[in-house]
Structure 1
Amino acid sequence: MKERISLTMIVRNESAHLANCLESVKDKVDEIIIIDTGSTDDTLNIAQRYTSNVFTYPWHNNFSDARNFAIEHASGDWILALDADEEVQCQASFSFHSLIAKENDKEAFLLPLLNPILDSTEEYNSFYVLRLFRNNGNYKYFGKIHEQVTIQDQQKVGLAVEPILKHKLLPLKLRHQKRNRNLHLLKKALQDDPHNPFLHYYFGVEWLMLGKAGYALPYLQKAYSRLSDDQLLFRAPTLKYLLVCLRALGRLDEALSLCLETSLHYPNFTDIFYLGGLLLEEKEEYHVALKWFNHAINCGKPPALFSHLTGSESFLAYYHLGFCYEKVGETFEAREAYETALELNPRFPYPLYNLFLILLSEEGAAYCYQYLEDRDYFDDALFCLTTADLFFLADHVAQAYLCLENHKDCFQGDERFLFFYGKYCIYSGRANTGFESLNQIPTKSSCYPSAQALSIVALILLGDFPKAKSSAIMLWKNQPTRCEAHIFLCLIRLMQKQTIPPCPLRVRGKETLATNTEMLLDCKRYRSHIMSYDPLVEAWNQALETLIKSSEKGFELLFNDYNQRVQGLNDRLIAKFGNSWMDKL
């Protein structure tokens, strides 16, 4: 007879995540038990759509009591425990029943958990956690906070490759709220059990994740000294966080000594070698760092019981390998390393920046574009947008435009494409096309305010001052874009040889200077791209400079810019004609 699986959860105000969690697992379990500890949002209604087994439990700052209360209401032979901000990832054919039947000598299973650092780049910390166990009365939770399941016989605990539990990356504010709550509960728990290494570990992690490495260090040091290899599930991540903590505090030599010591004891712990490479890179010992990063790559993914930073054996290591190769002057090897990093993780764009700069400085913009084109980098929307922006910032507007113009098929329904395509069209002399692209962005889009401001630039370059002025007035009505609106209204008046009004109190000078400066830089990009003199563009440039010079800081900024340009010209002439170039005039 097939054994039944009961999913047990405790929830509170989880309406944003609960449905996604339950959708990911509802077809894999036989029963769902949800314990609500005092929700004030729609959590209860969502829970009741998936199960009739929804119970309330009075919250008294003890997670274990709530977890055990859920187990008491479960009728299944096995318990699967999840948090609402987690999702189950597995192949469609996966079955908990098959896992249990295949290893019928096991009473509990450790499941892999991915804790995201950044979802968009697929950077995760992975751990193994005990979440699947027999409902036979032998497995209960203990601990008021960061509760754990009691294990009576290690031999009866299995290690599962699948399913993977993926934790949701919560907004920073909510993460900090939860961490502050956890610190409060941990403080009380530590008063009752001051020598508990697990509590010291969690205390250290919470402080470290709040950016308080100085507070975290003593807790992590105590935890690491008291945890043994029999507790490797905790000792390994404690070691990692201890290294991260020491690095954050600038104690690089101390951290490196710990890396050297533990690398002998844990020769397969990839993350130690990766972190050691980072420390050596920071100490500018690039040749030695190369050896450590290569060792991390050769190690591959560490054994399951070790905590692991995804990519420390692959794309992250290759990225830093490329950086170190650059620093020792081996640009060919650096290029290869960056390309390997991009191939291993196309969602991790940072190696593209370094690769781009090498190609641009060594071969020029046209070669750089063709090189990346030939390797199909532009077929990926993220890479295409990133490279286009890099070309634009490097004052190669033509290549920025080509990146998007030649790869429109990558951006079906993508509002970012409409915005950046519009921008690069405008600054490459295609103001009409750019204006049309920007006007396709819906009003509810996050790009809409910026698109409206950029549309006014297009109208100015088209010489349509009445429409530009009307659009700027509309922009003024929106509080976040009031600064841009004021600047545009002043620019239009200056370009029409009219006096400008004083800066309104609702617009701060500091904001106008930053925006003016950015617009002046874009104006220079436009001027460097067009081949002939355009009085409208020159008037636009002069108006921007006039606005910037209206403040003391702005005047100083322009003065320094002029000096740098004169010095740059002087350096180029000396390089070409020698120190006596003035005599040759």
Structure 2
Amino acid sequence: MKLSLCMIVKNEAFALPKCLQSAKKFVDEIVVLDTGSTDKTPQIARDYGAKVYDFQWCNDFSAARNEALKYVTGDWVLVLDADETLIPSIMPQLKEAIQGEEYLLINLVRHEVGAIQSPYSMVSRLFRNHPDIRFSRPYHALVDDSVIEVLRQEPHWEIGYLQGVAIQHQGYQQDAISQKNKITKALAAMEDYLASNPQDPYVYSKLGALYVEMGKVTQGLELLEQGVGLLQQNYSLPDSEDGMNEDILYELYYHLGIAHNRQQLAQQAIYYYREAVKLPIYPLLKLGAYNNLGSTLKANGDLVGAKTAYETAIKIDPNFATGHYNLGMIQKTMNLYTDAIASYQKAIQLNPKYADACQNLGVVLLKVGNVKDSVAFFKRAIFLHKKQNPEEAQRLRQGLQEMGLI
């Protein structure tokens, strides 16, 4: 089976080489649609062997992606953005999956590097080059709608997913969001789409979450609740479509939890986080809800419940550094110092630049009388805080000086 990489780009000279380097030896064709670059993006793409085409940008990601699909000649299509890279270890599994006859679409797990809330998402980025598969929605362009229609007409196909992380995405880091002004673009596109598609629960989820992130919590809550209502009205669907709706319902519940936390309505937040983790979706996608559930339970004095939530999170993903850190915080509060030390050490092992983990490890080591190692980790925390949070670095240094430790 011939695999084609399909991309749309604009002024991505900095990010594009890493993306193409990650994929070039695994794909049989690279198709790049340039939407108006003024830098060296088109030439960089050609240097990697890509077929490059031009397209006049029209404020519609789906239109651009569909134009790019016209030039694809492979049996299967892999879609990446310039700020994404393909994980090499996933390729044997990916190659095996596309050799089968049963799949129309294969969902991929994406690691959202730098994401504060949910570190993983599921994306519909690998699909058969079927003439009726097309992207829809102007901002969060997806093929899911057309896939559902194809499944209704050709029910012999299946939707699958690959185990493990397939894509790393850098775009959710705060500096990248600022540079590309993504929030403003997303808001305008989704508000327009909602006005003409008022029965689509997906856009209620995305726009509601965006409103909450922007501080428009009341508006966000209203949209999220409407999205839940739409799904509950139309939940008796074919299995393949139910799976997609369960992912959307998870997002709705998860962001309702965040919204209620913003309004200091802890019990409502706990309810929605618990409803989210009950859903039968890919376990990695639940990390955000488990982590937020733990934090909310901790803030409301349920240390045992919080500990269970964090333990579940790191059981799902043993490499979840934030989960290990949060578990350490609970263990410290419960005076389980040996366990807390182990949790902080694991968090630091996974993320050597984890300043807060170094600082709190210093606190626990001091409590158990290990002054030498405690001071070493405090100094390491100060060094890291200088780059990330200078005020905290100064506060910590002053506190240690007053205690006579440095």
Counterpart contact for 1:338–1:352, Cα < 8 Å = no
> Closer, same or farther in 2 for the Cα pair 1:148/1:394, shift >3 Å?
closer
Alpha-carbon distance between aligned partners in 2 of 1:128 and 1:18, rounded to the nearest angstrom: 22
1:248 to 262, 265, 268: 262
2:132 maps to 138
- Which aligned pairs between 1:138-537 and structure 2 lie closer than 5 A? 138-149=132-143, 150-151=146-147, 152-154=149-151, 155=155, 156-162=157-163, 164-175=166-177, 177-227=181-231, 228-229=234-235, 230=237, 231-252=245-266, 259=272, 272-273=274-275, 303-304=280-281, 308-310=285-287, 312=289, 323=298, 327=301, 344-345=318-319, 347-348=321-322, 349-359=325-335, 371=338, 381=349, 382=352, 389-390=359-360, 396=366, 399-403=370-374, 420=379, 521-526=399-404
Counterpart contact for 1:117–1:124, Cα < 8 Å = no
Counterpart contact for 1:232–1:305, Cα < 8 Å = no
Counterpart contact for 2:112–2:118, Cα < 8 Å = yes
SS at match of 1:208: helix
2:109 to 108, 112, 115: 112
Deviation per residue, 1:84-129 (Å, 9 max, x gap): 2222235266154421223x0333323333445647xxx6354433
2:3 maps to 5
Alpha-carbon distance between aligned partners in 1 of 2:381 and 2:258, rounded to the nearest angstrom: 43
> Closer, same or farther in 2 for the Cα pair 1:186/1:94, shift >3 Å?
same
Counterpart contact for 1:127–1:308, Cα < 8 Å = yes
> Closer, same or farther in 2 for the Cα pair 1:133/1:354, shift >3 Å?
closer
> Closer, same or farther in 2 for the Cα pair 1:4/1:15, shift >3 Å?
same
Counterpart contact for 1:7–1:82, Cα < 8 Å = yes
Alpha-carbon distance between aligned partners in 2 of 1:116 and 1:90, rounded to the nearest angstrom: 17
> Closer, same or farther in 2 for the Cα pair 1:390/1:44, shift >3 Å?
same
Alpha-carbon distance between aligned partners in 2 of 1:61 and 1:205, rounded to the nearest angstrom: 21
Alpha-carbon distance between aligned partners in 1 of 2:138 and 2:311, rounded to the nearest angstrom: 48
Alpha-carbon distance between aligned partners in 2 of 1:447 and 1:60, rounded to the nearest angstrom: 43
Q: Which has the higher contact order (CA 8 A, sep 6+)?
A: 2
Alpha-carbon distance between aligned partners in 2 of 1:68 and 1:334, rounded to the nearest angstrom: 45
* Farther off after superposition, 52-61 or 212-221: 212-221
2:241 maps to none
Counterpart contact for 1:388–1:399, Cα < 8 Å = no
How far has the Cα of 1:336 moved from its partner?
9.4
Deviation per residue, 1:460-485 (Å, 9 max, x gap): xxxxxxxxxxxxxxxxxxxx9xxxxx
Aligned pair count?
377
> Closer, same or farther in 2 for the Cα pair 1:90/1:340, shift >3 Å?
same
Q: Which runs of 5+ in 2 are unaligned?
A: 238-244
1:80 maps to 78
Structure-1-length-normalised TM-score: 0.53
Residue 286 of structure 2 aligns with an amino acid whose one-letter code is L
How far has the Cα of 1:138 moved from its partner?
1.2
Counterpart contact for 2:344–2:360, Cα < 8 Å = no
> Closer, same or farther in 2 for the Cα pair 1:400/1:53, shift >3 Å?
farther
Residue 402 of structure 2 aligns with an amino acid whose one-letter code is K
Residue 182 of structure 1 aligns with an amino acid whose one-letter code is A
How far has the Cα of 1:169 moved from its partner?
4.4
Residue 133 of structure 1 aligns with an amino acid whose one-letter code is F
Deviation per residue, 1:251-284 (Å, 9 max, x gap): 456556x74xxxxxxxxxxx535x6xxxxxxxxx
Counterpart contact for 1:36–1:55, Cα < 8 Å = yes
> Closer, same or farther in 2 for the Cα pair 1:30/1:402, shift >3 Å?
same
Alpha-carbon distance between aligned partners in 2 of 1:193 and 1:128, rounded to the nearest angstrom: 23
- Percent identity between matched residues is 22
Instruction: Answer with 1 or 2: which has the greater Rg.
Output: 1
SS at match of 1:181: helix
Counterpart contact for 1:207–1:216, Cα < 8 Å = yes
RMSD of aligned alpha carbons: 4.5
Residue 310 of structure 1 aligns with an amino acid whose one-letter code is L
Counterpart contact for 2:107–2:159, Cα < 8 Å = yes
Counterpart contact for 2:246–2:280, Cα < 8 Å = no
